[in-house]
Amino acid sequence: MTVSMKHRALWRRCIALLLLIPAIALASPAPSSGKKLKIGVTLHPYYSFVANIVGDRAEVVALIPAEANPHNYQPQPDDITRAMNIDVLVVNGIGHDEWAFQIIKAAGRGATLPIIQANASVALIPIGGGQDGVKVVNPHTFVSTTAAIQQVFEITRRLGELDPDNAAAYRQNALAYAARIRALRAGFMTRFAALDLSSFRCATTHAGYDYMMQEFGLFVSAVIEPRHGVAPTARQLANTIDAIKKANVRVLFAEKNFSLDLAKPIEAATGVKVFALSHITGNTYSPDEFEVAMRENLETLAEAVEFTQR
């Protein structure tokens, strides 16, 4: 089945589902007094952010299944049903969850559902280390502590506007959550301060870690995948191997849930040491998933830098 045929079949299922639901159900009213806000989220980190912001004062609803790969996700009828029953949706909005807008459109919520753009207050950066030299905004702001805190406060501000009765509690929770994230970063800042970062060179299989890298003054010399989930051509792979050798790269970061296999031929051809980082887009949705994954990522990053000091 071709991609276009798959899309037509998907839309036929979506339309059939919509015809079964009265039009009045297509627009969720604002929560009445005493009713908990239902907050939809598109990505795992946003589940953690919102869960920590709202505590038990609102309900967090994941728009797609926890095990789904958000990079090439195709909307399903169950997603549309969930979109019909949320009061607001938190999105990345800069390239990592475009499928969410297909879902809310199919649910008839395009004109009625409040959207929180989590990155509205984040200083965005381009993808680094690409082969074509084209500057494209990097959407992976959630793999970071600084950008994560900025998103937490933006989400908190917007939720307070939608749910003023709980705005003060949301702000208090956000401050406590941000303090934990800052403490996590501070511990690693102390560790990195003892290292010589001037000669560190790395490559990544996927352009997902630039925000985290820049927090510690590190930069990516080469990216293997032309786009996430898209294997490089033989020419692109050869160009990357050449760039790694010329830049004296000693470390390659692979995405542990998706691209470790891609790292093997690079390792064999260049002698780089492979380290695995989390993209925070798998496992189960949980309030502590972001903190756990970022602690592991920062530990791995520190170990990689320490490896190059030997």
Quickly state the pLDDT bin for 72 (edges 50, 70, 90): confident
More confident of the two residues 288 and 35: 288
Contact 307, 253 (CB under 8 A): no
Average pLDDT, the chain: 87
Strand segments, DSSP code E, in 162-261 are 202-204, 220-223, 251-255
* pLDDT of 49 above 60: yes
Both tokens of residue 172?
A: 């208090």
Q: Is the pLDDT of residue 11 over 50?
A: no
Interval 174-191: pLDDT, tens? 999 999 999 999 999 999
> What is the distance, to the nearest Å, from the Cα of residue 230 to the centroid of all Cα atoms in its chain?
18
pLDDT band of 134, cuts 50, 70, 90:
low
CA distance 44 to 96: 12
In this predicted structure, the answer to whether residue 4 has a pLDDT above a threshold of 50 is no
More confident residue, 177 or 264: 177
Confidence of residue 257 (pLDDT cuts 50, 70, 90): confident
- pLDDT for position 229: 64
Residue type for 59, please? E
SS3 (DSSP) at 292: helix
Report how far residue 60's alpha carbon sits from residue 219's, in angstroms, rounded to the nearest whole number.
35
DSSP reduced 3-state for 35: coil
Give the model's pLDDT for residue 155.
98
- Tell me the average pLDDT across 192-207: 91
